[in-house]
């Protein structure tokens, strides 16, 4: 019977394919792409069928596998039926492939084309999107700033709007507190940069054809010294792909696979298939490469410092925030925003979802305090007390507050006695018994600039109220003052302050109403850091959930050599580097250094760049220019959508398309990995099919298709694709989640999104750390820490050796005794680049802070003549050029003869950047404020001086780690001088000569 079934399937297959071609023009066009013969059957030859594709028709006849262009042969009947029956079990298919129960033979590009054609026959009939009355078709997509509707007509995007829910979508949650009922808006409150997407798709800076540097000859002179200087000529895809594939093989033959590196930058385009931790990781693993190990750039002070007081290593030292919104609105009396500006950072991906909740708090009379060198947009919106503190002196202010608490008994003495260790030693330091210097409010005043009376008043008010402490990007950690020389001290102080106030008790927790919404945390959908299609188990969250749910072949990188991201330019230029590992699996792994190069492996000779630029996102960015031009770098390829940033330093440029020109799938604000349940920053869980809304512009291709085309030339295309295109992988992600239990694949394709119903009130997640405050077993829904990391009973106590919150961390005692910069006792150590570095401060008297942009998302939506560039608070057009802004106080501007929107020279020993001055009362004298992550990087010579005019503020920031023995960056420890740019008129004259109209 099974033999008859297999013969029937093989006999019917060509008829089904021809019928599909008659019904669907796109499939008919697909069949016309190739003329080939294919054999499908059993390996022993007892059952099989010969398929011939000619001129868009499929013919069937008997034949031998040896005579076919491609063949797919099965070891046994059972395996064949598992592959060929409708709705096959993907797990069975992967199992058979891994155990060589099926063999696909033939030229790799033909095997891939044939397998993808068979898969396409199953999806071509799906209705995608919703027809609208105005003649457009509405599609959906997800972005770094939230989900969108995309309206398309005649193959062109007409408009993009935030996604709005309809009556059939799940209801919203509601909160009952203090006699009020609050419900969130029934739409996605997306970030500004998400709405710039149409302008990015149609940007005149799109790269629409493969390019080769004019003076680069892969078979002759390569002229690395001219990268970033010489121009480009268009070439064909075939020539570009051949050059790249040949160079990959040459590198492995001549040097070994460790000579290739993929500098992976985060936050490019949204999705679970096209993201760098997904398809790029799979591609890189199949080639072999020296891994660039990222520093925890969103967690710096938390990972290297705060974690050791309480654990949470699998969150890199950041609190979880569970239940924080309901608890705060019900119990808190005050919120202290310390180096926290959620109105600008949006909790990373959440848009303005938290804004509504903070306005609820204002309605309820909850008081606000803002501690920040800059009167940021959150402070401007909410009001309350602004306490400007000098950059990187925050730890001194925190220590002085704790001094007042200790002296006046304004701390939770019962909590400290029962739930913590080491407080007596810490109190001795506060009182001056350790070093003879009491840490009074007067002690900190000269350092921080905050009057002692204000510190004492804040300490007393705080000590007598139930307070939520909002720190960094989400209000529960990340970034903020943690990115500087004293970043570890500050983050440690934040944990210690909450320890003194009874962290976990009602109304006493971390958060600024940005994280901890009462959404359903148990509905499974993978986040982007859960590995996607990578098959990578070590460097993603794949092993936790995704790999078991979405069967796919594992990929492994055989190269053990690594290089620290911050030191990659130094590794190239100097030939060596030392780094410290970012590994959330333990608290101890960070203390062991690793070195580059590793014995047995080649130094790096080839750079394959994809995604956002390191220029402007990595400190002292000028090092990257020298690294790209170094003689040791034999080949640079950049896979880029736009001509910006590092693309100009490539030998070969491969034009990628935007996310609106390819398939993907993702959930709003769901990062997964080390930020488990990150979607609790939004009011509704929104899972979106990221439709391919239009065809790729020009000759651009999706990243997935580019990787496939290169790997086909290496015989690895079939391994990479597993026979599927992007849409087939999207379907696999869909099937791996809980979505099929609630919506059909066909309905999901039409509508494009699904709203996960909220959690029932009685099943909402408990408040973070409430269990610890009450000495109960851990009850929040996170698998952290690992079972082996509990000091006593599983689920009881923290990850620390004592199981308690440790004021003097035992792990730092064990490992940093010989490191004066990382003492177990969190004493205040002034910044190594700050006002106490007297000689340097005399030359460069202004402290620069360059935080995340309010209007862009890293480099993604900036530049490119985008909608974002037209926002006057983001860039200002002067002499036909869009200049980056630098905010400066009126006093500092007047002292230098600078007026509003004058072009100013911002400089130190590390570089020169030209900005437009934003003279403002929002910063105090001595501090200047800008943003990091300009997409533009433009070195020009004006009046005999080389300056950068794109806004790359990270040219100026130091590459020194926060403390020795860590791989940690410190961009906010940066001294500069500013003067009116003397070359402004020469620049304007040159632009006018070039025919640029003055703005």
- Do you know the residue count of the chain? 999
Q: For residue 260, give every residue at least 6 positions away whose Cβ sits within 8 Å of its Cβ, in sequence order, or none.
A: 248, 251, 252, 287, 288, 289, 290, 604, 605, 606, 608
Nearest to 203 by CA among 690, 868, 995, 873: 868
DSSP per-residue codes, 137-163: EEEEE--TT--EEEEEETTEEEEEEE-
Determine contact, residues 716/286, Cβ cutoff 8 Å. Answer: yes
DSSP SS3 for 240: helix
Q: Which of 995, 691, 960 is nearest to 840 (CA)?
A: 960
Query: Which residues, other chains included, contact 44 with Cβ-Cβ below 8 Å and sequence gap of 6+?
Result: none
Q: How many CB atoms lie within 10 A of CB 570?
A: 20
Instruction: For residues 316 and 324, give the distance between their C-alpha atoms in angstroms, rounded to a whole number.
Output: 19
Strands (E), 363-488: 367-371, 385-387, 420-421, 467-471
Backbone phi, psi, residue 607, to 5°: -120, 125
> Known catalytic residue: 109?
no
Q: Nearest to residue 75, comparing CAs of 52, 108, 50, 42? A: 42
H-assigned helices in 54-170: 77-84, 90-98, 108-123
Q: Which of 39, 151, 232, 267 is catalytic?
A: 267
Question: Residues near 911 by Cβ (< 8 Å), separated by ≥ 6?
Answer: 622, 948, 955, 956
Residues 544 and 521: their CA atoms lie apart, in Å, by: 15
SS3 (DSSP) at 411: coil
Is 775 an active-site residue?
Answer: no
Q: Which residues contact 214 (CB under 8 A, 6 or more apart)?
A: 230, 231, 232, 233
Of residues 641, 715, 723, 577, the one with CA closest to residue 248: 715
646 Cβ contact list (under 8 Å, min separation 6): 609, 613, 614, 615, 624, 628, 638, 640, 937
Q: Is 691 a catalytic residue?
A: no
Q: Indicate which residue of 69, 297, 372, 705 is catalytic.
A: 297
Cβ neighbours of residue 158 closer than 8 Å, sequence gap 6 or more: 136, 151, 152
Please name which of 927, 963, 668 lies closest in space to residue 823, comparing C-alpha atoms. Answer: 963
What is the distance between the alpha carbons of residues 244 and 637, in angstroms, rounded to a whole number? 7
Please state, as a whole number, how many other Cβ atoms lie within 10 Å of the Cβ of residue 897: 9
Residue from 589, 657, 43 nearest 314 by CA:
589
As a whole number of angstroms, the distance between CA 471 and CA 496 comes to: 13
442 vs 875: CA distance, rounded Å: 41
The span from the CA of 729 to the CA of 740, in Å, is: 15
Distance from C-alpha of 550 to C-alpha of 629, rounded to nearest angstrom: 42
Sheet with 685-690: strands ordered across = 664-667, 685-690, 753-756
- The catalytic residue among 151, 232, 528, 547 is 528
CB 887 within 8 A of CB 929: yes
| Strand, coil or helix: 566 | helix
66's tokens: 């040896």
Q: Dump the DSSP string for 890-954.
A: HHHHHHTT--TT-EEEEEETTEEEEEEEEEESSB-TTEEEEES--S---EEEETTEEEE-S--GG
**Which residues belong to the active site?**
267, 297, 528
């Amino acid at each position: 019977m099974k033999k008859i079934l297999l013969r029937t399937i093989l006999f019917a297959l060509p008829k089904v394919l021809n019928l599909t071609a008659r019904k669907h023009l796109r499939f008919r066009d697909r069949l016309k792409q190739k003329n080939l013969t294919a054999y499908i059957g059993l390996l022993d030859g007892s059952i099989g069928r010969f398929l011939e594709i000619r001129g868009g028709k499929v013919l069937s006849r008997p034949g031998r596998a040896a005579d076919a262009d491609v063949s797919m042969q099965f070891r046994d009947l059972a395996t064949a039926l598992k592959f060929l029956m409708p709705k096959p079990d993907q797990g069975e298919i992967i199992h058979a492939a891994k155990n060589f129960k099926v063999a696909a033979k033939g030229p790799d590009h033909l095997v891939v084309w044939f397998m993808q054609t068979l898969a396409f026959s199953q999806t071509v009939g799906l209705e995608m999107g919703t027809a609208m009355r105005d003649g457009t078709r509405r599609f959906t997509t997800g972005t770094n700033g939230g989900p969108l509707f995309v309206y398309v007509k005649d193959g062109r995007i007409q408009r993009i709007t935030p996604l709005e829910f309809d009556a059939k979508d799940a209801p919203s949650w509601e909160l009952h507190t203090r006699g009020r009922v609050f419900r969130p808006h029934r739409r996605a409150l997306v970030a500004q940069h998400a709405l710039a997407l149409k302008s990015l798709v149609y940007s005149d800076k799109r790269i629409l054809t493969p390019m080769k540097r004019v003076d680069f000859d892969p078979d002759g002179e390569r002229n690395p010294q001219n990268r970033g200087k010489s121009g480009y000529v268009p070439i064909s895809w075939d020539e570009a792909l051949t050059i790249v594939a040949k160079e990959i093989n040459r590198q492995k033959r001549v040097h070994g696979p460790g000579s290739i590196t993929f500098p992976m930058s985060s936050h490019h385009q949204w999705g679970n298939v096209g993201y760098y931790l997904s398809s790029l990781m799979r591609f890189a693993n199949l080639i072999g490469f020296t891994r660039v190990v990222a520093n925890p750039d969103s967690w710096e002070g938390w990972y290297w410092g705060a974690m050791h007081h309480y654990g949470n290593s699998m969150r890199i030292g950041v609190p979880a925030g569970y239940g924080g919104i309901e608890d705060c609105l019900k119990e808190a009396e005050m919120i202290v925003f310390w180096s926290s500006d959620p109105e600008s950072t949006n909790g990373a991906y959440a848009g303005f979802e938290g804004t509504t909740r903070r306005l609820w708090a204002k309605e309820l009379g909850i008081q606000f305090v803002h501690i920040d060198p800059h009167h940021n947009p959150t402070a401007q919106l909410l009001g309350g007390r602004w306490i400007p503190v000098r950059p990187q002196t925050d730890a001194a202010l925190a220590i002085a507050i704790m001094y007042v608490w200790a002296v006046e008994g304004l701390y939770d003495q019962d909590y400290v006695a029962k739930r913590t260790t080491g407080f007596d030693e810490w109190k001795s330091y506060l009182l001056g018994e350790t070093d003879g210097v009491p840490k009074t409010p007067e002690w900190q005043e000269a350092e921080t600039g905050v009057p002692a009376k204000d510190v004492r008043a804040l300490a007393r008010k705080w000590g007598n109220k139930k307070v939520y402490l909002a720190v960094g990007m989400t209000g529960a950690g990340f970034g903020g003052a943690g990115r500087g020389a004293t970043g570890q001290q500050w983050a440690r102080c934040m944990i210690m302050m909450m320890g003194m106030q009874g962290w976990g008790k009602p109304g006493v927790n971390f958060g600024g109403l940005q994280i901890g919404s009462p959404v359903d945390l148990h509905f499974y959908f993978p986040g982007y850091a859960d590995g996607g299609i990578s098959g990578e188990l070590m460097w993603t969250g794949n092993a936790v959930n995704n790999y078991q749910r979405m069967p796919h072949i594992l990929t492994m990188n055989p190269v053990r050599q690594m290089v620290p991201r911050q030191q990659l330019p130094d590794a190239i230029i100097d030939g060596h580097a030392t780094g410290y590992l970012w590994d959330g699996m333990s608290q101890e792994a960070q203390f062991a250094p690793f070195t580059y190069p590793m014995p047995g492996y080649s130094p790096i000779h080839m750079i394959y760049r994809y995604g956002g630029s390191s220029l402007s996102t990595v400190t002292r960015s000028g090092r990257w220019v020298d690294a790209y031009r170094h003689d040791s770098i034999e080949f640079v390829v950049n896979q880029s959508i736009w001509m910006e940033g590092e693309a100009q330093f490539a030998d070969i440029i491969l034009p990628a398309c935007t996310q609106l020109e390819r398939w993907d799938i993702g959930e709003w604000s769901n990062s997964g990995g080390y930020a488990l349940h990150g979607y609790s920053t939004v009011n509704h869980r929104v899972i979106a099919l990221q439709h391919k809304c239009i065809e790729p512009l020009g000759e651009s291709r999706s990243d997935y298709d580019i990787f496939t085309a290169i790997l086909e030339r290496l015989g690895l295309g079939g391994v990479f694709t597993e026979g599927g295109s992007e849409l087939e992988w999207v379907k696999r992600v869909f099937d791996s989640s809980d979505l099929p239990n609630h919506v059909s694949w066909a309905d999901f394709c039409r509508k494009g999104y699904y709203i996960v119903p909220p959690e029932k009130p009685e099943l909402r997640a408990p408040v973070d750390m409430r269990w610890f405050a009450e000495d109960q077993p851990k009850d929040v829904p996170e698998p952290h820490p690992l079972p082996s990391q509990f000091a006593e009973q599983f689920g009881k106590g923290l990850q620390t050796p004592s199981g308690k919150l440790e004021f003097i961390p035992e792990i730092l005692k064990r490992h940093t005794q010989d490191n004066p910069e990382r003492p177990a006792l969190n004493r205040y150590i002034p910044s190594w680049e700050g006002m106490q570095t007297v000689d340097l401060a005399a030359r460069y008297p202004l402290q620069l802070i360059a935080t995340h942009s309010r209007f862009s998302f890293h480099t993604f939506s900036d530049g490119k003549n985008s909608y974002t560039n037209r926002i006057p608070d983001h860039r200002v057009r002067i002499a036909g050029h869009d200049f980056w802004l630098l905010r400066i106080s009126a006093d500092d501007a007047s002292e230098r003869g600078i007026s509003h929107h004058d072009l100013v020279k911002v400089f130190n020993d590390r570089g020169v950047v030209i900005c437009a001055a934003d003279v403002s009362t929002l910063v105090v004298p001595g501090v200047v404020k800008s943003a990091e992550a300009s997409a533009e990087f433009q070195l020009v010579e004006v009046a005999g001086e080389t300056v950068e005019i794109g806004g790359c503020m990270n040219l100026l920031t130091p590459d020194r780690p926060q403390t020795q023995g860590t791989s940690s960056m410190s961009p906010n420890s940066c001294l500069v001088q500013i003067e009116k740019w003397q070359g402004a008129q020469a620049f304007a004259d040159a632009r006018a000569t070039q025919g640029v109209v003055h703005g």
